[in-house]
Amino acid sequence: MADTTASTSTAPSADSVLAPSPGALMRRRMFGHYGFMFGTAALLAILLIALFAPLIAPHDPLGQDLARKLIPPIWHDDPKATWVYPLGTDMFGRDYLSRLIYGARISLLIGFAAMVISGVIGTALGVAAGYFGGRVDMVVNFIITTRLSMPVVLVALAVVSLIGNSLWVVIWVLGLLIWDRFAVVMRSSTQQVRGLDYVAAAQALGCSTTRVVLSEIMPNIVNNLIVVATVEMAHAIILEAALSFLGLGVQPPEPSWGLMISEGKGLMFFEPWLIGIPGTALFVLILSINLLGDGIRDVTAPENRN
């Protein structure tokens, strides 16, 4: 990259060669960061698979056929294994690959939607606490402490079981429960930025509070917000899988990865792939989201790496 800039400009000044532009520096850090690259690529692949599920999936994810139940995946040395069902079929004869592909939609939808809900709540609380300080800070701190003392999995299970489970109930219950990290991080980031000169300058110019927060504070804490967003999206996906695994999340016959593991666990001694395949999918998805988050943190704020 440095070569091209040097060759295209006829007379490069010493500064432009020695100090690459901030954008070029950022790009160089991004491409040099293997975790970031892997996370982005894997997440993008899963996202595309989820978006184009109807085009990619070879079979109907809900289509049962007991005559074809429990066909092992293709890498098993078994006469029943066939390329028609590359990942095999489950105990109802449903194509495991198609269920896996449609399951990506559910994980991503729940993870993203719950993250947005909790992000809005947590950011509003955290920025308010950090910006106003004093009483507001005390109240927000109190709300955060109260929220942290409620056991998430237990409360989520209890509330979902009492309201009745549907996809959107799970999303809202998770979204309303996991905003604590957003609030904690946004609060401390806002506190750091609030005392800086340009914020004081904007206040002195008579900007409204909304304007100071939106155009002076937010742009400077948005990096931290994105990092927390990745952590919480992964968190929501794990929680959904755990809820579905315990039978109180996404309901059969929908293909949620947590539910697939739950359905397969009774047969896992003879058909271990039934839990191995959806578990690996879950692992890769969460790993790629976490690597992306770590990567964004390293690339945008390399001084915090250690």
The backbone torsions φ and ψ at residue 75, rounded to the nearest 5 degrees and listed phi first, read -80, -5
Q: How far apart are CA 73 and CA 94, in angstroms?
A: 13
Contacting range for other proteins; rule: CB under 8 A; set: 1-9, 85-93, 123-131, 238-246: 238-246
- Nearer of residues 201 and 268 to other proteins, judged by Cβ: 268
Binding residue for other proteins, selected from 27, 246, 267, 300, defined by CB under 8 A: 246
Q: Binding to other proteins by residue 166, rule CB under 8 A?
A: no
- Nearer of residues 68 and 235 to other proteins, judged by Cβ: 235
Q: Binding to other proteins by residue 87, rule CB under 8 A?
A: no
Report in angstroms how near the CB of residue 36 gets to other proteins at its nearest.
12
* CA angle, residues 238, 100, 40, in degrees to nearest 5: 60
DSSP letter string over 222-273? Answer: HHHHHHHHHHHHHHHHHHHHHHHHTTSSSPTTS--HHHHHHHHGGGTTT-TH
- Tell me the chain's radius of gyration from C-alpha atoms: 24
Q: Binding to other proteins by residue 150, rule CB under 8 A?
A: yes
Q: Binding to other proteins by residue 157, rule CB under 8 A?
A: yes
Site for other proteins in 260-279 (CB under 8 A): 261, 265, 268-269, 272, 275, 279
CB of 169 closer than 8 Å to CB of 160? yes
Q: Binding to other proteins by residue 259, rule CB under 8 A?
A: no
**x-or-dash string of contact with other proteins, 114-143, rule CB under 8 A:** ----------------------------x-
CB of 192 closer than 8 Å to CB of 271? no
CB of 111 closer than 8 Å to CB of 46? no
- Nearer of residues 158 and 201 to other proteins, judged by Cβ: 158
Query: Judging by beta carbons within 10 Å of its beta carbon (0-12, 13-18, 19+), is residue 37 exposed, middle or buried?
Result: middle
How many positions of this chain bind other proteins (CB under 8 A)? 42
Interior/surface letters 80-97, b for 16+ CB within 10 angstroms, e for the rest: ebeeebebbbbebbbbbb
Site for other proteins in 284-303 (CB under 8 A): 286-287, 290-291, 294
Q: Binding to other proteins by residue 148, rule CB under 8 A?
A: yes
Q: Binding to other proteins by residue 76, rule CB under 8 A?
A: no
Q: How far apart are CA 84 and CA 98, in angstroms?
A: 11
Report in angstroms how near the CB of residue 253 gets to other proteins at its nearest.
20
Q: Binding to other proteins by residue 242, rule CB under 8 A?
A: yes
Report in angstroms how near the CB of residue 125 gets to other proteins at its nearest.
15
Cα dihedral across residues 173, 144, 218, 236: positive or negative: negative
Give the interface with other proteins as residue ranges (CB under 8 A): 35, 142, 145-146, 148-155, 157-159, 161-164, 234, 238, 241-242, 245-246, 248, 258, 261, 265, 268-269, 272, 275, 279, 282-283, 286-287, 290-291, 294, 306
